[in-house]
Structure 1
Amino acid sequence: MRLLLVRHGQTPTNVDYLLDTAVPGPGLTELGEAQAVALPEALTGEDIEALYVSTLLRTQLTAAPLAATRGLEVIVRDGIREISAGDLEMLPGDTEQGELYMRTAFAWAAGDTDLRMPGGESGAEFLGRYDAVIAEAAQSGLGTVAMVSHGAAIRTWTAARADNVDIAFAAAHRLDNTGVVVLEGSPSDGFKALSWAGASVAPAGEGGPAGEPLEDAG
């Protein structure tokens, strides 16, 4: 299966660098709407056969132009929503407390899945729900599936599940709004990332210095 993980368009709380993860969440900014309109052309070379979105409004608004252009029915799944910030909800991402959000998420990708976000979910719970949607798509037998999801969720799941993406790479490479991570594989055989926001993915271990940028969380 070819899997396209697409971050949603810009929201007002992205602009303000806030950890905004609650359902249904905000809509898109004017720029976010323009990003959504541009998405069908950006993905013109992809033969998308199914389109998933999360339960957060911003993913559904981002996917709407693509769904209309391709004649696809949007499939809503809670499993690919953003990592719940719990007690960190609506804190600025560039504060010490806010930085705990991505440190916790990347600890999950490193295997510490019993660790829990303060007041929120554990790594096992997050990866379990995200894996379940990926497995559903894989079981459909379709060739190419797109999922409009969220920055921290995409980076964390990819670092945990793609054989050639390590935590250093995922931490150092932020995913801009409507950025796309392209992967290939299956839950049984594993996944390999083919590209990250249009750039080739460095092999595991060559991701460069680890950083923990938070402004794209959500």
Structure 2
Amino acid sequence: MALLVLVRHGRTTANASGTLAGWTEGVGLDDTGREQAARTAARLAGTPLAAVVSSPLQRTRETAAAILEGRELEARLDDRLGECHYGEWTGRPLAELAKDPLWPVVQQQPSAVRFPGGESLREVQHRAVAAVRELDEELGEQAVWVAVSHGDVIKAVLADALGMHLDAFQRIAVDPASVSVVRYTKERPYVLRVNDSGDDLSWLGRTDPAPTSAPVGGGAGTA
């Protein structure tokens, strides 16, 4: 199957101010976020990409545009990769939300959470996993493609790929403009990177086909 590169958008003014942006219009990258997106684009510059699929929100579209610069590709938008609909929590400071009775449930039992007037985290995971698996199958064997999305959405996809219950997804960190990599196979997903903000990613275009079974002892790693 294809190789999925999950990229979180770069930092925004909402991130910097501790505000839950959700689907608020007009939330773009700040100066730091644009630098982060440019660095991620540079890390991916040596990797042939079959597609770049983005959440429709401004901050993800701006991050996708940085990755696409100089490539003969256009971003594809998919609402299923969009941020969680946080409902009445949207636009509120995180410091204020931390005092809400729902906050400990979000931290400890997210599978039980439905945001007031918004989505449940189970629904977010369901739509996002369905999107990446469908797109992955569409793009075919050996393709490398990028999905630009949001922190909680990427964490939900990674939890599924790792075989973790959604209640454990808060154990995963996904920083702005970080890269996580998943290869889906007929047998199982293989998680190759999580929250990677390092340097060279050119190995993504040179990976061997995923083994039919997990290598006992860990194997030789990527080239």
CA distance change for structure 1 residues 119 and 46 in 2, over 3 Å: closer, same or farther? same
Give SS of 2:42's match.
helix
Aligned partners of 1:91 and 1:97 also within 8 Å:
no
CA distance change for structure 1 residues 169 and 41 in 2, over 3 Å: closer, same or farther? farther
CA distance change for structure 1 residues 152 and 103 in 2, over 3 Å: closer, same or farther? farther
The percent identity for this pair of structures is 28
| Alpha-carbon distance in structure 1 between the residues aligned to 2:130 and 2:169 | 22
| 1:145 aligned onto 2:160 | no
CA distance change for structure 1 residues 78 and 184 in 2, over 3 Å: closer, same or farther? same
What is the match of residue 213 of structure 1? Answer: none
Letter in 2 for 1:178: A
Give SS of 1:14's match.
helix
Give SS of 2:109's match.
helix
| Alpha-carbon distance in structure 1 between the residues aligned to 2:54 and 2:21 | 17
Larger Cα Rg: Structure 1 or Structure 2? 2
Of the structure 1 ranges 148-157 and 35-44, higher mean CA displacement relative to structure 2 is found in 35-44
What is the match of residue 218 of structure 2? Answer: none
What is the match of residue 178 of structure 1? Answer: 177
> Normalised by the size of structure 1, how large is the TM-score?
0.76
Give the 5 Å matches for 1:123-142.
Answer: 123-142=121-140
What is the match of residue 104 of structure 1? Answer: 106
Give SS of 1:197's match.
strand
Paired residues in the alignment total: 194
**Displacement of 1:124 after TM fit?**
3.9
What is the match of residue 208 of structure 1? Answer: none
After superposition, the CA RMSD in angstroms is: 2.8
Letter in 2 for 1:66: I
Aligned partners of 1:59 and 1:149 also within 8 Å:
yes
**Displacement of 1:54 after TM fit?**
0.5
- Residues 142-188 of structure 1 show CA distances to partners (whole Å, capped at 9, x for unaligned) of 321101100111112211x11366768742443221001111115x6
What is the match of residue 8 of structure 1? Answer: 9
Give the 5 Å matches for 1:4-153.
Answer: 4-95=5-96, 96-97=98-99, 100=102, 103-104=105-106, 107-108=109-110, 112=111, 115-142=113-140, 143-153=143-153
Letter in 2 for 1:104: V
